[in-house]
Amino acid sequence: MSDLTTQVRAFAEERDWQQFHTPKNLAMALAGEVGELLAELQWLTPEQAAAVMEDPEAAARVRAEIGDVMIYLTRLADVLGIDLVEAALTKLDEVAVRYPVHQSKGSAAKR
Amino acid sequence: MSDLTTQVRAFAEERDWQQFHTPKNLAMALAGEVGELLAELQWLTPEQAAAVMEDPEAAARVRAEIGDVMIYLTRLADVLGIDLVEAALTKLDEVAVRYPVHQSKGSAAKR
Amino acid sequence: MSDLTTQVRAFAEERDWQQFHTPKNLAMALAGEVGELLAELQWLTPEQAAAVMEDPEAAARVRAEIGDVMIYLTRLADVLGIDLVEAALTKLDEVAVRYPVHQSKGSAAKR
Amino acid sequence: MSDLTTQVRAFAEERDWQQFHTPKNLAMALAGEVGELLAELQWLTPEQAAAVMEDPEAAARVRAEIGDVMIYLTRLADVLGIDLVEAALTKLDEVAVRYPVHQSKGSAAKR
């Protein structure tokens, strides 16, 4: 993971792209890539979407879009000085308190 | 990273949430969380956004939203059987070919 | 429609919010509101989502989110000097050429 | 506006696309199109974005993306039985109460 952060940073610095990589721009790019990921799944039935990785061409497209999303998320976190995995683990702890197992079992109700 | 995947999976399984965690639903949730992240930055000037982590309250909100995005991205990748870091590194290699350093230096032009 | 544009513009001007309503900021806000709309539908089954307007509380939330999306889309188009309905009709004509009825019937395949 | 709704509906029905146009699918498509719109603006400086409509090629792309967003928003509202302009006007009234002019002047603070 820290290796990915370093490589994405080097990729940007070699191309002098730090000037474009502001938090707002990167957040927009992240949303743009998530949009492309949604586009891969939007017209599939739930059953087709569940089996999307069995079709090699669709799987390659989905994997590429997931990769793009991860690249921009990694870069945004790096620019903001946030450790991505730590932020997720901390948030997971908070969500665990908000959604106790016995009260949340099988329910998607928001709290 | 693999530890995060395992913890997010356990979190979902303990709550019987696998039924909700289809690829389409998780992609929608991912987009929803990215929307909340954008909302933290949308009215800031570029200068304010660059300094957002210096304000403890704003920093905590941004960190929490980044954590949420990472949780759903991790879960979506897990459900699809995709290795998140590997997908990002593979894509980075492809993008490096499409944007050679000498042709892309200082330019955000799309290829 | 032109009445909505005028009212949204007046709303912003009365509050001196033109300074915040740059194209980039409004596009981010639009994506943020779309994210909230997705959040209303994300955990529903296709059947539940198809019937979402029959539940008064869910219907009110969905209507409010659709309203938010439309407000920001209207404002963004106004700031850019784009006629929203005309832009949609023009695009619809183009898409009709790209997806001829006899070749597209019952198929979601991208062209 | 109601003309646009009718034309978008006819477009879908002629192609037997009602089967794909579920609320969840259309919300995903809407987010996908907003992502493409963000992509047009993401690397521009605020100044460049403010002048984007002066460049004929960029203007055409932005107009097309705005059109796409409006098409899917119109279709989603139609499928849900929501009047888009009415939903926006209703929401604008609510927001006007939450953000009184004298308390909100020049401030983007959330309430």
Q: What's the mean per-residue pLDDT of chain B?
A: 96
Give which of B33, B38, B43 to mutate to test D binding, by max D Cβ within 10 Å: B43
Q: How far is B30 from chain C (nearest CA, A)?
A: 9
Domain membership of residue C89 (yes or no) is no
Report d(CA A109, CA D32) in Å as an integer: 26
Res D39: pLDDT: 98
- Burial readout C62-95 (b: 16 or more C-beta within 10 A, e: otherwise): bbbbbbbbbbbbbbbbbbbebbbbebbbebbeeb
**D interface toward A at CB cutoff 8 Å?**
20, 25, 28-29, 31-36, 38-39, 41-43
- Residue C36: CA count within 13 A, CB half-sphere: 19
User: Each residue of C23-77: pLDDT tens digit?
Assistant: 999 999 999 999 999 999 999 999 999 999 999 999 999 999 999 999 999 999 9
Give which of A20, A25, A42, A43 to mutate to test C binding, by max C Cβ within 10 Å: A43
Res D63: pLDDT: 98
Report d(CA C99, CA C110) in Å as an integer: 9
Closest CA to A41 of B50, C69, D28: D28
Closest to A4 (Cβ–Cβ): which among B22, B85, B94?
A: B85
User: Each residue of B18-61: pLDDT tens digit?
Assistant: 999 999 999 999 999 999 999 999 999 999 999 999 999 999 99
Q: What secondary structure does DSSP assign to A19-65, as a single string?
A: TT--HHHHHHHHHHHHHHHHHHHTTS-HHHHHTGGGSHHHHHHHHHH
D33: CATH:
1.10.287.1080
Residues of chain D in contact with residue A36, where contact means CB-CB under 8 angstroms, are 32, 35
Domain membership of residue A64 (yes or no) is yes
Res B111: pLDDT: 75
Sign of the C-alpha dihedral, residues D82, D83, D84, D85?
A: negative
Q: What's the mean per-residue pLDDT of chain A?
A: 96
Closest CA to C26 of B69, D32, A69, D38: D38
Domain membership of residue C12 (yes or no) is yes
Report d(CA B44, CA C79) in Å as an integer: 18
Q: What's the mean per-residue pLDDT of chain D?
A: 96
Q: How many CB pairs under 8 A join B and D?
A: 14
Closest to D108 (Cβ–Cβ): which among B24, B43, B108?
A: B43
Please give the structure tokens belonging to residue D63. 């107009």
Q: How many CB pairs under 8 A join A and B?
A: 180
Domain membership of residue D87 (yes or no) is no
Region A67-83 average pLDDT: 98
Q: C107 to chain A: nearest residue by CA?
A: A43
Where in the sequence is the domain holding A8, given as residue range(s)? 2-80
Query: A46, C46: Cβ pair inside 8 Å?
Result: yes
Res C2: pLDDT: 81
Domain membership of residue D92 (yes or no) is no
Residues of chain B in contact with residue A74, where contact means CB-CB under 8 angstroms, are 88
Q: What secondary structure does DSSP assign to B45-81, as a single string?
A: -HHHHHTGGGSHHHHHHHHHHHHHHHHHHHHHHHHHT
CB contact at 8 A, D74 and C88: yes
Res C72: pLDDT: 98
Res. B109 pLDDT band, cuts 50 70 90:
confident
Domain membership of residue C72 (yes or no) is yes
User: Each residue of B63-95: pLDDT tens digit?
Assistant: 999 999 999 999 999 999 999 999 999 999 999
Alpha helices for B81-111 (secondary structure H): 84-98, 101-104
Domain membership of residue A50 (yes or no) is yes
Q: How far is C4 from chain A (nearest CA, A)?
A: 27
Region D53-70 average pLDDT: 98
Domain membership of residue C64 (yes or no) is yes
Query: A28, B17: Cβ pair inside 8 Å?
Result: no
Report d(CA C78, CA C82) in Å as an integer: 6
Q: How far is A9 from chain D (nearest CA, A)?
A: 17
Confidence check: pLDDT of C9 > 90: yes
- Amino acid D55 reads D
Residues of chain B in contact with residue C31, where contact means CB-CB under 8 angstroms, are 34-35, 38
> In chain B, how many domains are there?
1
Residues of chain C in contact with residue D37, where contact means CB-CB under 8 angstroms, are 27, 30
Chains that touch B (3 or more CB pairs under 8 A): A, C, D
Sign of the C-alpha dihedral, residues A105, A107, A110, B1?
A: positive
Q: How many CB pairs under 8 A join A and D?
A: 49
Query: C42, B33: Cβ pair inside 8 Å?
Result: no
